[in-house]
Structure 1
């Protein structure tokens, strides 16, 4: 399963818009794993990922840190994904989050 983070548009951070987004995500094969005030977390199988995004999910190699880069743990950045049709009016962005770094 591939983890996906969905950031909602500011005007869509309400119960009715979240319900619409959840329904559309379920139709596309996503499993909702969490709902926060501004975002939705979900998982999707590799097969559904290919159907939705037209490509397979690929692990990203870490990028070297710049001298002033304080934002990405371990050099990883989230992968930005295109928005599936019907979600663009509710969703600001969809990303595959970077791998978890344990200390």
Structure 2
């Protein structure tokens, strides 16, 4: 196995902009090359967290991310709304500590109008 990127025959390096899984901010460029079929999407979410969101988590925060009701649990459809609360508050609400929690829109809108 050789190191490096195998170029896509049509799209070359096949770049995509990586975005934060919490806030959606651009974090960097992913060079996908021939690892995917066809042209890479303009934006890609690989599960990474940006420095600003990481700082909030490191400082004792927990993110609640709103998702559409009935979303697939493996890849929930995010609405774009989110908030951060203290981990202690999250533990009281959810029964255990979390860094990131998905909440369906119907429940989220009752807590945060």
TM-score normalised according to structure 2 size: 0.22
In terms of Rg, which structure is larger? 2
Structure with larger RCO (C-alpha < 8 A, sep 6+)? 1
